[in-house]
Amino acid sequence: MSRNAQNDHLTRLEQTSIHVFREAFANFRSVCMPWSMGKDSNVLIWLARKAFCGKIPFPLLHIDTTYEFPEMYEFREKAKAIHGIDLIVRINEDAIRRGIGYATHDPVTVTHELKTVPFKAAIDEFKWDALVTGIRRDEDPTRAKERWFSPRSAEGNWDYKDQPPEFWGQFASVAPEGGHVRVQPLLEWTELDIWEYIRRENIPNPTLYFARNGKRFRSLGCHPITHPVDSPASNIDEVIEELKLTKVSERAGRAQDHVGRNSMQELRAKGFM
């Protein structure tokens, strides 16, 4: 299969994502892209540069929980320089002063305090009306129901019971009063697509995804609650071969998803990505 063929699977995904980026930028007053520095986030940066001919015309937001892997902070600075990123960093200093942390609190509480709370505060501060997220339908059942443009109320709530219809490339173009719209260019991508695209485009990524001593990370979050999976895949080709055959869910190593049966749903209803 030719890499440049208009119709190859990855190119089609890429071109659709670019269309979503461009529609968001044309429709909304003020766009921001949260950046986790994970693989999906890094693919988004790449797609944004393609959509806007090299320049990302809006800021990126890193919600720093202070529990990132040290390698991720190094990667952040490197990627910032490579892509010319206008980066906003926010930490919930208040929660940290109150002693919220993984040593003393459960993952759902910590995720809420150190991610969702400062995230909402940043939205209040900057009044963005569109936020670009890297979520994919294949990640989690609640995400499978998502729309390309997904309105969120002023409280950040997702009204999944009454989502706008979406067809023929026409999206919800107006943010609810005081709220914002989540723009999700990677909705149709799968984990395998992400890795094949990273390989094809040679997109910079943290090396934590590759196996060291028989273990690698498939999904990256706060280090106390993110566990590596057993895997010999020490480079991108091996990761791709492994993913083609695995039937274990991608977020299996992310503890906050699995505290209770409905923890992901609870987190998302409160504004988590």
Partner 1 sequence: MSTSSLPSPAAAQAAAQAAAEDQRKMHVVVVGHVDHGKSTFVGRLLNDTDSLPNGKIEQVRKNCAAEGMEFEYAFLLDALIEEQEQNITIDTTRIFFRTTQRAYAIIDAPGHKEFLKNMVTGAASASAALLLIDAKEGVMDQSRRHAFLLSLLGVKQLVVLVNKMDLVQHSQETYDKIRTEYTAFLKSLGLHAVHFIPIAAKHGENIVNRSTKMAWWTGPTVTEALDGFAHEDDLTGLPLRLPVSDIYRFDHRRIIAGRVEAGAVRPGDELIFQPGGRRSTVRTFEDWPGPESRAVVGTGGSASVTLSEQIFVERGQVASHPSNQPRVGREFRARIFWLGKEPLVPKKTYKLRLLTQNVDAVIARIEKITDASTLESIQADSVPRDSICEVVVRTTHPVAFDLHHECAVTGRFALEEAGRIHGGGIILDAHKEQSAREGKVTAAERGARSGHAPAVLWFTGLSGSGKSTIAELVERRLFDAGRQVFRVDGDDLRTALNRDLGFSAVDRAESVRRASAVAGLFANAGHISLVTLIAPLAADRAKARAALSNHAFIEVFVDAPLDVCEQRDVKGLYAKARRGEIAEFTGISSPYEAPESPEVHIRTDKLTTDQAVDLVLDALDKVLRSKAEDWEV
User: Which of 75, 5, 12, 15 has the alpha carbon at shortest distance from 50?
Assistant: 15
Residue 106 C-beta: closest distance to partner 1, Å? 18
Q: Report the residue from 90, 137, 199, 270 that binds partner 1 according to the rule CB under 8 A.
A: 137
Residue 98 Cβ, how far from partner 1 at the closest point, in Å? Answer: 30
Q: Where are the beta strands (DSSP E) in 52-156?
A: 60-63, 87-90, 130-132, 149-152
Residues 4-33 that bind partner 1 (CB under 8 A): 4, 6-12, 15-16, 18-19, 22-23, 25-26
Q: Give the integer Cα–Cα distance in Å for 54 and 253.
A: 34
Residue whose C-alpha is closest to residue 110's, from 101, 119, 118: 101
Phi/psi of residue 56, nearest 5 degrees: -90, 110
Beta partners for residue 90, in sequence order? 63
Task: Write out the binding residues for partner 1, residues 68-97 only, by CB under 8 A.
Answer: none
169 backbone φψ class: left, alpha, beta (φ>0; ψ -120 to 50): left
Please name which of 184, 141, 148 lies closest in space to residue 163, comparing C-alpha atoms: 148
| The one among 80, 163, 210, 273 contacting partner 1 by CB under 8 A | 163
Stretch that binds partner 1, among 84-92, 104-112, 120-128, 227-235 (CB under 8 A): 227-235
In the list 3, 29, 53, 70, the residue contacting partner 1 (rule: CB under 8 A) is 53
Interface residues toward partner 1, by CB under 8 A: 1, 4, 6-12, 15-16, 18-19, 22-23, 25-26, 49-55, 57, 137-138, 141-142, 144-145, 147, 160-161, 163-170, 172-175, 188, 190, 227, 229-232, 241-242, 244-249, 252-253, 261-262, 265
